[in-house]
Chains A and B, each alone.
Chain A
């Protein structure tokens, strides 16, 4: 029966600091220095979860991040987190951990019935269900599978954890603080360069923490102390380097709550290696563990199997576990799959009373559900009662990070493992992750890597080679045995987390999925939270055997970040909620807020949507606000418009080139509506541009395209037309603007700005006038978006609110009120002005009814490609007005347009872009694009809105619904 006992002394736990935690609601106690896994094993919680597909009982298998089984959900509500890795999770007081994939408890799990239905979960189950004759069965299985699937669950509650993102730089990044990493960091630190040492564990030392060699421990303690004292070294424990990106850019998750973006001038990989399991029947039973995990538990956590351990191995490293367990009084038997075992190992084993059986495998694991005994195969077919079965299939260097740059790992026959293929410039590797096994060898290689990195950094004087701790490393010899199955009953797992067996790999091969990437998708092998850290190499070696090719020829699947699971919260950092993106506020924002505006988001802007004086809902309010402008006078915030100051001797020529219509001859004091195209001849943006002086223009853009237009104009001016003397400056944030509109607009403005000549002579339609009001520069532009008599009043942002308040106060006797974005946008529909919804970068000038604006006498951007054959086609979808013909119904934006006799199906002949209730016509009107456009004026068509299953009749009319002669504008 699997059980462990805590040693009364030794290990790296602090017996003076007990920590209380819960497991599935039950109270437990561990010590500072424990991991969740070691504390659970100390409490003899052997079955800690169930497997993903078959719901087989599972226990702790590994000693670190490679763990495939012992995953837990921790916390609750806003702090709940699934898939915490038990052997890598530092125990803390108050930790609440729960098993996954198990209900009601890991010992008794109702879903274990899946084991009986295991054909359902064989390789390619999903594929076979989705395609071919089985397709229909998916409908039947889906709800069942959906309920059962999913690795861990998380809360829907908002994340309570505060996450941070930070940026940093260093000369040398060392990944991993095992012997190689410590040595590399120390050598780099002594030369004075800035060093970051990132280590996933909460203690520094890597494999050294799990060893029992006094000389190595002394070296570790001394090195860590020296690094802690060095001012040029930043030690990052609990920090996982999740990915390496272009430009020596490392993304590191620190403590689970911070994400560090680190740029290093050079990188030394010292990530170490993980031990591989062996593939034999029932190798997943609780109590079957990696040999290295048993060694780590004994030396680091003072936790040993109660009485007897059996170890199964194909290499020498398992003997280190055997020696250390035996030293703590555990009876140890080693079943070695190899024939040849070194004499030194045999005699040392004999000296410690360890029984070694060469050429032995495991015939049977007797478990209920945890290991009770094992029956050996081979020449010594004995049955041995034991607490645990340790296994070692050799070591796999962690080549993940070195492969992130796209360099494929290379198979090294001598150590039966993949090692980094090559390194980018400035990248180096040391220790086990580079295939250098043994702690002293790792120290030497780390030291050498640091010197290479210093050379790369241009350090002329390199430090002398480090002195190694006394003693000798145990040699590492391996005879790979990839498939140790004995043909007995039970499943032999390759991938424990995804429940993929040796048989599944063979089946995938038989069905033609023998490419390693296909194998992964077909069987799910190597997926999940551990991404196959313990399973990939065994799987591809078994596949190589089936295909009869070398392991190196099969190759690995692609390694991608992140190296371990990290929370979405850590990736998002502080960019959540309000901080998800910047908020842009008009200079009038505070006024709107104090005066009953409801806001709407328009891009990054918050704009005043409607005001409560006009109604409680937008539907109610916008109509009232429209009536205000049509019959009286209103004031609206247009500060969000793009505003660009264009200056220079060639400013006129520049604008002549970018606008389809002419600007060079625009008189000073005049404004003109202009449209610009992209190079491809499609409409980019529109706006009004006025001439302030011979060499200065004031250009406005739509709110949505302000940034794009600015960048485009800068591109042309800087890169393509450097010969033009033109300078551009964005005034979008520096200046605010307001639109005063309505039949009483002139009266209102006169009340606010007494003494300014506002007559048709003094400021005619499309006239511009700069004045100074109480010492503040104010720009008056007589423009109209609404179709009424109108003025835009622009001034520096700091004074916009004061001027706005002054206008409202001065014109109060007329009944002036503010109006919002909804009515602003609706008024322009009545007038037939196009806006963002029509200017969607897919329409030509002619599509929008603006073809006549294009100059025939000067070239302009887009003039050649706008004459492409398809863009000149007569039946293009182009701008029309629509009037609803059915009282009591409504038009909807996005409706699909059909001719009266069309079948209502497909994409139709166009669609509605903008809709409003017309206060002037007392009916719903719309702008839209319709095949052939106004050639169909007067026709009755159908507007279909399939989402609501609506069809209404409308008539095609001119898009200019009001004042087609422009009498109001010139009033």
Chain B
């Protein structure tokens, strides 16, 4: 799999780290609601097909970005932003 880094362009997946589901909104800093945090940290869907994820170009520019990827085929559906 090759991943389009928004800064460096397309690079091998080995240069990146995966950062998890990007479809969920992180609760606001200071949000005290237990259920909200519990859902954010522990409850995940595991979709087969199109998905949006966080990736970081750790061995490159170190930028974190959102990537749309088909989890079944590894087809990249939308570049980093």
Q: Do A and B bind each other?
A: yes
Q: Closest CB of chain A to B6's CB: distance in Å?
A: 11
Question: Is there a chain B Cβ closer than 8 Å to A358's Cβ?
Answer: no
Give bound CA distance, A344 to B77, whole Å. Answer: 56
Bound Cα distance from A719 to B80, whole angstroms: 12
> Across the two chains, which residue of chain B brings its CB closest to A864?
B37
Would you call B63 and A718 a contact (CB within 8 A)?
yes
Q: A714-B64, A864-B32, A865-B41 are in contact. Are A719 and B54 (CB under 8 A)?
A: yes
| CA of A247 to CA of B74, assembled, Å | 7
Which residues from chain B contact A679 at a C-beta distance below 8 Å? 37, 40-41
Tell me whether B58 is interfacial, beta carbon within 8 Å: yes
Q: CA of A833 to CA of B62 in the docked complex: distance in angstroms?
A: 32
Contacts of A867 in B (CB 8 A): 34
Q: Which residues of B lie under 8 Å from residue A711 when comparing CB positions?
A: 17, 56, 58
Which chain B residues border A707 with CB–CB below 8 Å?
58
Chain A residue nearest to B27 in the complex (CB): A864
List the A side residues contacting B26 at CB < 8 Å.
719-720
In the complex, B46 has a CB within 8 A of chain A: no
Asked if A859 lies at the interface with its beta carbon under 8 angstroms from chain B, I say yes
Quick one: CB contact mask for B10-21 with A, threshold 8 Å, 1 for yes?
A: 001000010100
Q: Which residues of A contact B43 (CB under 8 A)?
A: none
Asked if B33 CB lies within 8 Å of chain A CBs, one says yes
B30 interfacial contact with A, CB 8 Å:
yes
Which residues of A687-736 are within 8 A (CB) of B?
707, 711, 714-715, 718-721
Within the assembled complex, what's the spacing in Å between the Cα atoms of A263 and B37? 42
A258 to chain B, nearest CB (A): 18
| Interface membership of A627, Cβ < 8 A | no
A322 CB to nearest chain B CB (Å): 47
A167 — which chain B residues lie within 8 A by C-beta?
Answer: 12
Give the one of A247, A263, A720 with max B CB within 10 A: A247
> A657 touching B29 by the CB < 8 A rule?
yes
Cβ contacts under 8 Å, A424 to chain B: 73
Which residue of B12, B40, B62, B73 is within 8 Å of A714 (Cβ)?
A: B62
CB distance B64 to A719 under 8 Å? yes
Q: Considering the chains assembled together, what is the distance between the CA atoms of A719 and B81 in angstroms?
A: 10
B38 and A865 form a contact (CB under 8 A): yes
The minimal Cβ–Cβ distance linking B23 to chain A, given in whole angstroms, is 13
The residues of A that contact B54 with a CB separation of less than 8 Å are: 715, 719
Report whether B56 and A715 are in contact in the complex, using a CB–CB cutoff of 8 Å. yes
Q: A680 near B: Cβ within 8 Å?
A: yes
CB of A553 within 8 A of chain B?
no
Q: Which residues of B contact A718 (CB under 8 A)?
A: 63-64
Residues of chain A lying within 8 A (CB to CB) of residue B73: 246, 405, 424
Please indicate the chain A residues that have their CB under 8 angstroms from the CB of B56 in the complex. 711, 714-715
User: Residue B45 at the A interface, CB < 8 A?
Assistant: no
In whole Å, how far is A267's beta carbon from the nearest beta carbon of chain B? 15
Tell me, in angstroms, the Cα distance from A167 to B15 when the chains sit together: 14
Residue on B nearest A707 in the bound complex, by CB: B58
Task: List chain B residues, Cβ under 8 A from A405.
Answer: 73
The answer on a CB contact under 8 Å between B63 and A715 is no
CB of A574, distance to nearest CB on chain B (Å): 15
- Residue among A680, A859, A865 making CB contact with B30, cutoff 8 Å: A859
Specify which chain B residues have a CB less than 8 angstroms from the CB of A263 in the assembled complex: 2
Chain B 28-55 near chain A by CB (<8 Å), digits 1 or 0: 0111111001101110000000000010
B42 cross-chain contacts in A, Cβ below 8 A:
680
Contacts of B2 in A (CB 8 A): 247, 263
**Chain A residue at smallest Cβ distance from B33:** A864
Q: Which residues of A contact B63 (CB under 8 A)?
A: 718
CB neighbours of A680 from chain B (8 A)? 41-42
Chain A interface size, under 10 / 10 to 19 / 20 to 34 / 35 or more: 20 to 34
Q: Are A864 and B34 in contact (CB under 8 A)?
A: yes
Nearest neighbor of B41 in chain A, beta-carbon distance: A679
Complex Cα–Cα for A955 and B41 (A) = 39
Query: Shortest CB–CB separation between residue B72 and chain A, in angstroms?
Result: 8
Does B37 lie within 8 Å of A246, measured CB to CB?
no
Which residues 217-263 of A have a CB within 8 angstroms of B?
A: 246-247, 249, 263
In the complex, A246 Cα to B75 Cα: how many Å?
Answer: 8
Task: Given the known inter-chain contacts A714-B62, A721-B29, please indicate yes or no for A246 contacting B34, CB distance below 8 A.
Answer: no
**How far apart are the CA atoms of A679 and B58 in the complex, in Å?**
21
Task: Give Cα distance in the complex from A868 to B26, angstroms.
Answer: 19
In the bound complex, what is the Cα–Cα distance between A864 and B27 (angstroms)?
Answer: 11
For residue A262, give the distance in angstroms from its CB to the closest CB of chain B: 13
Alpha-carbon gap, A405 to B75, bound state (A): 12
* Complex Cα spacing A715 to B54, Å: 9
Known interface pairs A679-B40, A864-B37; A247-B1 also in contact (CB < 8 Å): yes
Rounded to whole angstroms, the CA-CA distance of A657 and B39 in the bound complex is 20
In whole Å, how far is A792's beta carbon from the nearest beta carbon of chain B? 26
Chain B 66-81 against A: per-residue CB contact (8 Å), 1 yes, 0 no? 0000000111000000
CA A711 – CA B59 in complex, angstroms? 11
Complex: chain A residue closest to B38, CB-CB: A865
Contact status B31-A864, CB under 8 Å: yes
Bound-state CA distance A868–B38 (Å) is 9
Write out the residue numbers on chain A whose beta carbons fall within 8 Å of the beta carbon of B40. 679
> Which residues of the partner chain B approach A719 to less than 8 Å between Cβ atoms?
19, 26, 54, 64
Query: Which residues of chain B come closer than 8 Å to A249, judged between CB atoms?
Result: 1
Residues of chain A with a CB closer than 8 A to B37's CB: 679, 864-865
Against B, the Cβ 8 Å flags (1 = close, 0 = not) of A496-511 are 0000000000000000
Q: Which residues of A lie under 8 Å from residue B38 when comparing CB positions? A: 865
Whole-angstrom CA separation of A865 from B74 in the bound complex: 33
Residue of A246, A424, A714, A721 ringed by the most chain B CB atoms within 10 A: A246
Residue of A nearest to B22 (CB): A719
Collect the chain A residues with CB atoms within 8 Å of residue B30's CB.
Answer: 859
Shortest A598–chain B CB gap in Å is: 31
Nearest CB in chain B to that of A656: its residue? B29
Give the most central of A679, A718, A721, A864: most B CB within 10 Å: A864
Q: List, in ascending order, chain A residues with CB within 8 A of B75's CB.
A: 246-247
Checking A715, A721, A868 against B19 with a beta-carbon cut-off of 8 angstroms, the contacting residue is A715
Smallest CB gap from B26: residue in A: A720
The interface residues of chain B lying within 8 Å CB-to-CB of A721 are 29
Chain A stretch 846-870: residues in CB contact (< 8 A) with chain B? 859, 864-865, 867-868
CA distance A707 to B12 in the complex (A): 20
Within A899-917, the residues touching B (CB, 8 Å) are none
Proximity string of chain A (627-657) to chain B, C-beta cutoff 8 Å, 1 when within and 0 when not: 0000000000000000000000000000001
Q: Which residues of B contact A247 (CB under 8 A)?
A: 1-2, 74-75
- Is there an interface contact between A246 and B74, defined as CB atoms closer than 8 Å? yes
Interchain nearest-CB distance for A543 vs B (Å): 29
State the CA gap A680–B75 with chains docked (Å): 31
Q: Which of chain B's residues have a CB closer than 8 A to the CB of A246?
A: 1, 73-75
Residues of B within 8 A of A868 (CB): 34
Chain A residues closer than 8 Å to B31, beta-carbon distance:
864
- Roughly how many angstroms separate A249 CA and B2 CA in the complex, as a whole number? 10
**Within the complex, what minimum Cβ distance (angstroms) separates B13 from chain A?**
9
State in angstroms the CA–CA spacing of A721 and B30 once bound together.
12
Docked Cα-Cα span, A707 to B29, in Å, equals 24
Chain A contacts of B17 at CB under 8 A? 711
- Whole-angstrom distance between the Cβ of A407 and the nearest chain B Cβ: 11
Chain A residues with CB under 8 A of B12: 167
B74 proximity list for chain A (CB < 8 A): 246-247
Cβ-defined contact, B64 with A859, below 8 A? no
Q: Closest approach, in angstroms, between the C-beta of B28 and any C-beta of chain A?
A: 9
Of the candidates A719, A720, A865, A867, the one having the most CB atoms from chain B within 10 angstroms of its own CB is A719
16 contacts between A and B (CB under 8 A): A167-B12, A246-B1, A246-B73, A247-B2, A247-B74, A424-B73, A657-B29, A680-B42, A711-B17, A711-B56, A714-B64, A718-B63, A718-B64, A859-B29, A859-B32, A865-B38
Residues of B at the A interface (CB closer than 8 Å) are: 1-2, 12, 17, 19, 26, 29-34, 37-38, 40-42, 54, 56, 58, 62-64, 73-75
Given contacts A679-B37, A719-B19, A864-B33, 15 further A-B contacts (CB under 8 A): A247-B2, A247-B75, A657-B29, A679-B40, A707-B58, A711-B58, A714-B64, A720-B26, A721-B29, A859-B30, A859-B32, A864-B31, A864-B32, A864-B34, A865-B38
Closest 3 CB pairs of A and B: A246-B74, A859-B30, A718-B64
